[in-house]
Amino acid sequence: MTAIWIIVAIVVIAIVVGLIVAGLSSRKDGKREQRHARAAELRASALDHGPRISEARHRAAEAEAQAQRARDQADDAHRDLAHEEATQEDALREADRVDPDIDDKSDEYRPTTPAGPSMPPEPTDETPGEGSHRRA
């Protein structure tokens, strides 16, 4: 009869172990489902940012277009400035070529800069008087 009790005890222990394993498994499955649900919530929350991202992308594109227009305007202004400076320098060189007191063939020759209310002198590192090379 002891053998029957040992068999019953083994069966009972096996049933208890089976129930424990089944409980742990279902608990693990429950946590897994919770994690899936949490992931779905996070994805839904991330999708809420879609309209704000579109607006931010649109604002960034507008700002980039505006910046490009400003760069283009600056480039145009620099070209205009270079043209005006070249025109002025041509006129000054012609005036210096005609002026008998200026040696425009000198290696150190630089065109003279007129002084007057219409053209303020530009700051330079040269000392006053340099650049005109008057003949002695």
Write out pLDDT tens, residues 60-104.
999 999 999 999 999 999 999 999 999 999 999 998 889 888 888
Q: What is the CA radius of gyration of the chain?
A: 45
pLDDT at 109: 85
Looking at residue 37, its amino acid is A
Is this structure's pTM higher than 0.85?
no
CA-to-CA distance for 65 and 30, rounded, in angstroms? 53
Report the amino acid identity of residue 12.
V
SS3 134: strand
Using CA atoms, how far apart are residues 111 and 117, in angstroms rounded to an integer? 19
Q: What is the DSSP letter of 99?
A: -
